[in-house]
Amino acid sequence: MDRPLIIGVFTNEHDIVGAVKETRASGYNIYDVYTPYAVHGLDEAMGLKPSRLTYVCFLFALLGLATAIVTQFWIGSIDWPLNVGGKPFNSLPAYLPVAFELTVLFGGLGVVFVMLFRSKLFPGKKERSIHPRVTDDRFVLVLEVSDAVTDENIVRSLWENYSVEEVSRMEEMA
């Protein structure tokens, strides 16, 4: 984090949504917003693009399905065909439960791991605390100090419309 940050602390979700919209409308780039819970509409307000994790999930699920089907057919008819109860060596219906389970398992685990990886979340990671109450009841809007926003005072008035509780400047993240 090379550049200093400008921080606005809000106390409810409507204010933060409003402030974000307003800030963006004013042409400032929002560095990030920190909230205690997923505030609906905030992602749109921030202009975040729809996540591509759905495709990741689909691909992983497809991988799981393919693994299950190929493995079962390969084992059942190529690697070691065995006469089990006189049934045909290959029977798709019998293979479906495992195929389904592996689809779900691969899809679920895959997307979670990708999400954690993308978000750089891992066990024991030291958090970068922007505000001590951000996981409690405060909503924090963060701007990066840039040519457009050189000072917190630039946005202070903007944010005061939204009952900003505190505006401060942070040299670097804790």
Sites for another protein among residues 66-85 (CB under 8 A): 71-72, 75-76, 79-80, 82-85
Q: Which residues contact 122 (CB under 8 A, 6 or more apart)?
A: 116
Stretch that binds another protein, among 2-10, 50-58, 148-156, 164-172 (CB under 8 A): 50-58
When asked if residue 41 is in the footprint of another protein (CB under 8 A), the reply is yes
Spatial contact of 131 and 173, defined as CB atoms under 8 Å apart: no
Among 3, 128, 156, 169, binds another protein (CB under 8 A): 128
Among 101, 160, 166, 172, binds another protein (CB under 8 A): 101
When asked if residue 39 is in the footprint of another protein (CB under 8 A), the reply is yes
Could you tell me the two tokens for 36?
């205690």
The amino acid present at 117, given as its one-letter code, is F
CB of 103 to another protein, least distance (A): 8
Q: Nearer to another protein by C-beta: 47 or 150?
A: 47
Spatial contact of 138 and 11, defined as CB atoms under 8 Å apart: yes
When asked if residue 51 is in the footprint of another protein (CB under 8 A), the reply is yes
Spatial contact of 6 and 169, defined as CB atoms under 8 Å apart: yes
Q: Nearer to another protein by C-beta: 32 or 172?
A: 32
- In order of 83, 95, 98, 106, the CA distances from 68 in angstroms are 21, 8, 7, 10
